[in-house]
Amino acid sequence: MKRCKARTSKGKQCRRTAVNNTAHCKSHQRNPLQRPPDGSEFEKDVRKVLELLGYKVDPDVRVNGRQTDLYAEYWTGEICLRLMIECKDESTPVGVEEVSQFAARVQIAHRHKIDKGLIVAKRGFTKDAKTVAADAGVQAVSFDDLSNRLVHFDSYIDRVIADFDRSAVSKYYIDLSFALTEDYYGSDSHLIQRPLDDAVNRIIAAEGHNQIALLGNFGTGKSTWCRKFARDMARRYRDDHHNRIPVVVSLSDYEGKLDIQELITSTLQFTYGLQISLTVCLELQRHGRFLFIFDGFDEMATRADSEVVRDNLRQINKVAKIQENLFIITCRTHFFRDKVQAEVLKEFETLYIPEWGEAELREYLEKRFGGDWQRHFDRIRGTHNLPELAETPLFLEMIAETLPKLGDHVRRTELYQTYTANWISEQSQRKGARLTSDERAAFVQDLAVKLYRDERVSCHYSEFSSLLQSRFQITDASAMDYVQSDVRNCTFVTRTSTGHYEFRHKSFMEYFVAVAMQVQIEKADTDLLSARGIPVEIRGFLVELIEQSPPTKLLSNWWAENRETVLGGNAFTMLAALGEALTIDGAVVDDETRSAAEFLEFLRGDPRALESIYTRYFPVLRDHLARLLGDVDEARDAAQEVMLRLIEERDRLEVGTSTNFRGFLLARASNVARRRTANNHLKANRSVYIENFTEFAAQIYDHKAPSPVDILVAKEQVEGLRKAMEYAMLQLPGRQRAIVQRVFIEGRRQSDVATEFGYSRSGLSTLISRTLASIRETIRLHMRESMDEG
């Protein structure tokens, strides 16, 4: 029988028996994950829940000469209920023997004024154990059941289920597909899988994945999927209360900086009427009771600058810091690339939602039209542009409703115009309607413009008065009440429980704003185009509205006369989107105009413009970077990087780059130089602590501050560290060891390694982070053991 090789905190030899070939007892296992829990943390969790339920709880109280885990009292007036509590932090359900032993202790404790025995198990009880407990008068509950008593979620769960089941979309719902990579466009169908629900459920079930990002383009059904998946999760909870409770949080409802925990709590309180406090909500999160679904992160961008968006993302990441939490975030595919950096998704397991294919189209039409589906399918497939529009679920719904009224050539704006016109007409003809179709259309447009100006997606019904008075010059109070009642009951916009109104889908607001801009352009009015940079979605609608008769001369003059303003930037972007040449009075005249015109051609993908830009600006970038970096060869590489990124991001360049294209490129070059300088500085810092050592060691540790390992290395114990690292590698499972070998020793790209081992890029990144943490811990313990033996 071997003794444990470890030493106690006082430096003495441990006297416990070694449990395996590592020559350590359970408490001194080098891998913390192999150490058994001592139960203290679980006792704290039970105590916290009981205190939130109103009990006065004391730990480690002696009853009848024996120590009990917890002693609790619950006072009702002058009556006190006294509990003796046993906490079982075990990895398997508690059996008959342990329950019987506790029941016997409770029986004796009745003489000492103990009224009830409560045994709480982390993993529940066997069926026979629960029977024994009931017969002995002992309350046996799992920890999940105990925490569920903090808030009664049954009515909430019923509402989540009913909200989706009663909606019109539930009748025609089609399972979404997904891809593990964004590069699924125009590729083989094997990259796209179905259904999305299965992939999300697999991620949820896998350990170590608590953040999921669902990225999809506009109208691909992300919000509908959130409601449907929440319904499914709610059904699971109703069947078994040990499952997670789904909570859908719509981020489009909130403006400015976000307090994430208050947002979650207020959603449960005010949207669903739950009696839950922030303290209780946080405690339930610590116990892993929720699945949060944050829907529409990109919707916040219309009201927040990039710094606020970063703050909001950091707020959401606070949810992830509660280790037991699990959450999903939805967003438009290109949002993170535009507003922050794609790197923010590295901790997420990311799935991409593609547009619908023919299989989904057939399935939807069969559900929608029954036996008549083939006729509608043939009409869509035989109409120019409709097959493309039908790839987006939102457009397909509109097509299904308006198909009989559409012509042979259908554009997106025509689809919106037909759909909204029908909608407005129906609302104006219903019983009790006060506004005509034209008046209703005018009000809806005014509402859209107001929300656009205010950078909001909703407004309170009390704000309708000013809109109606301005539009219709209503002065009579009773007439105003009638009209307000009319618009408040219009199904074109939806109402929240707080009395705020918003468009059924944000795209309808964007369409009406584009219509208003079209009217202003026809009148040479610059009001809306001067307000702010036109978002890409509105710009897309506006281009379609004016492309039949493009106002090229007007836009060129607006740009020439207002180059440093929002109006000039918007005019320039509109010309680029329309494919029009940039001229002043019919001719390209000065160098600045010529440069901007060349930039326009570059945005449209003209290879001659790209060659001209490269020839003109590469020497300028190289010389600028040489001054910043102090190295001609590195400056040449950095200039190539700037030009390459310019090409890669051509489709995503924002307005405002046309007035000073040279300054724009130099600013980009300065950013590249700062990043390269920072990286060089980081490498230099690493060499201070680990001199003459492998790059592998440099990547294992983050040497922003000295650590115990750094101190060892500084004492020239490099060889000891090398042996410890080799030992740590051997302790890894074969698959993880192979991944570390590929990435850090062979230097292969993570994207290639992810493909080889069947991971997504974000999934591999998460696995590598956990593996490196395990390596560091094993190295630390191994080297400490070596010092003890020495």
| Three-state SS at 505 | coil
Over range 715-741, report the average pLDDT: 68
Q: What is the pLDDT of residues 318-338, one digit of tens each?
A: 888 887 889 999 987 766 654
| pLDDT value, residue 522 | 93
Q: Which residue has the higher pLDDT, 626 or 252?
A: 626
Over range 485-505, report the average pLDDT: 63
| pLDDT value, residue 383 | 60
Q: What is the pLDDT of residues 11-57, one digit of tens each?
A: 667 766 666 555 666 556 655 445 555 567 888 889 888 888 888 98
Look at residues 788, 778, 779 and name the one whose alpha carbon lies nearest to residue 720.
Answer: 779
Per-residue confidence at 715, pLDDT binned at 50, 70, 90? Answer: very low
Confirm whether pTM is higher than 0.75: no
Q: What is the pLDDT of residues 578-590, one digit of tens each?
A: 766 655 554 444 5
Per-residue confidence at 703, pLDDT binned at 50, 70, 90? Answer: very low
| pLDDT value, residue 100 | 92
Over range 757-769, report the average pLDDT: 72
Over range 258-278, report the average pLDDT: 84
Which residues on neighbouring strands pair with residue 369, listed in sequence order? none
Look at residues 342, 348, 341, 346 and name the one whose alpha carbon lies nearest to residue 319.
Answer: 348
Rounded distance between C-alpha atoms, residue 60 and residue 483, angstroms: 68
| pLDDT value, residue 200 | 92
419 Cα distance to chain centroid: 31
Q: Pick from 2-6, 233-237, 417-421 the range whose average pLDDT is largest.
A: 233-237
| pLDDT value, residue 39 | 64
Q: What is the pLDDT of residues 595-609, one digit of tens each?
A: 666 666 666 566 666
Q: Which residue has the higher pLDDT, 665 or 164?
A: 164
Lowest mean pLDDT among 15-29, 82-96, 247-261: 15-29
Rounded distance between C-alpha atoms, residue 767 and residue 770, angstroms: 5
Over range 189-196, report the average pLDDT: 79
Q: Which residue has the higher pLDDT, 159 or 560?
A: 159
Query: Is the pLDDT at 713 greater than 60, yes or no?
Result: no
Strand order in the sheet with 458-460: 458-460, 500-503, 493-495
CA-CA-CA-CA dihedral for 591, 596, 597, 602, to nearest 10:
130
| pLDDT value, residue 588 | 46
Query: Is the pLDDT at 353 greater than 70, yes or no?
Result: yes
Report the interhelical angle of 437-454 vs 464-472 (nearest 10°).
130
Q: Which residue has the higher pLDDT, 23 or 215?
A: 215
Query: Is the pLDDT at 718 greater than 60, yes or no?
Result: no
Q: Pick from 496-500, 506-510, 659-663 the range whose average pLDDT is largest.
A: 506-510
Over range 365-374, report the average pLDDT: 86
Per-residue confidence at 237, pLDDT binned at 50, 70, 90? Answer: very high
| pLDDT value, residue 293 | 94
| pLDDT value, residue 186 | 45
Count the Cβ atoms, other than its own, within 10 Å of residue 576. Answer: 22
- Residue pair 242/358 in contact by the 8 Å Cβ criterion: no
| pLDDT value, residue 477 | 60
Q: Which helix (H) or strand (E) holds 535?
A: none
Per-residue confidence at 696, pLDDT binned at 50, 70, 90? Answer: low
Tokens of 479: 């007439």
Q: With helix as H, strand as E and coil as C, how does 605-617 read?
A: CCHHHHHHHHHHH
Look at residues 492, 451, 446 and name the one whose alpha carbon lies nearest to residue 469.
Answer: 446
Q: Which residue has the higher pLDDT, 668 or 471?
A: 668
Percent of the chain with pLDDT over 90: 11
Per-residue confidence at 762, pLDDT binned at 50, 70, 90? Answer: low
Tokens of 362: 């057939």
Query: Is the pLDDT at 650 greater than 80, yes or no?
Result: no
Rounded distance between C-alpha atoms, residue 253 and residue 486, angstroms: 24
| Three-state SS at 260 | helix
Query: Is the pLDDT at 788 greater than 60, yes or no?
Result: no
| pLDDT value, residue 527 | 93
| pLDDT value, residue 515 | 94
Per-residue confidence at 339, pLDDT binned at 50, 70, 90? Answer: very low
Rounded distance between C-alpha atoms, residue 238 and residue 659, angstroms: 60
Query: Is the pLDDT at 303 greater than 50, yes or no?
Result: no
Lowest mean pLDDT among 128-132, 287-291, 557-561, 732-736: 732-736
Report the interhelical angle of 718-731 vs 761-789 (nearest 10°).
130
Q: Which residue has the higher pLDDT, 310 or 194?
A: 194
Burial class (CB in 10 A: 0-12, 13-18, 19+), 60: exposed
Per-residue confidence at 227, pLDDT binned at 50, 70, 90? Answer: very high
Q: Which residue has the higher pLDDT, 513 or 617?
A: 513
Rounded distance between C-alpha atoms, residue 46 and residue 146, angstroms: 8
Q: Which residue has the higher pLDDT, 407 or 621?
A: 621
| Three-state SS at 414 | helix
Query: Is the pLDDT at 228 greater than 90, yes or no?
Result: yes
Strands of 341-452 (E only): list them. Answer: 349-353
| pLDDT value, residue 236 | 94
Tokens of 785: 């053991």
Rounded distance between C-alpha atoms, residue 536 and residue 507, angstroms: 11
Q: What is the pLDDT of residues 414-467, one digit of tens each?
A: 878 887 887 777 667 665 566 778 888 888 888 889 889 888 878 777 777 777
Query: Is the pLDDT at 555 greater than 80, yes or no?
Result: yes
Mean pLDDT of the chain: 76
Strands of 109-264 (E only): list them. Answer: 116-121, 138-142, 178-179, 192-193, 211-216, 245-250
- Residue pair 182/350 in contact by the 8 Å Cβ criterion: no
Query: Is the pLDDT at 276 greater than 60, yes or no?
Result: yes
Lowest mean pLDDT among 38-52, 358-372, 741-755: 741-755
Per-residue confidence at 482, pLDDT binned at 50, 70, 90? Answer: low
Per-residue confidence at 95, pLDDT binned at 50, 70, 90? Answer: very high
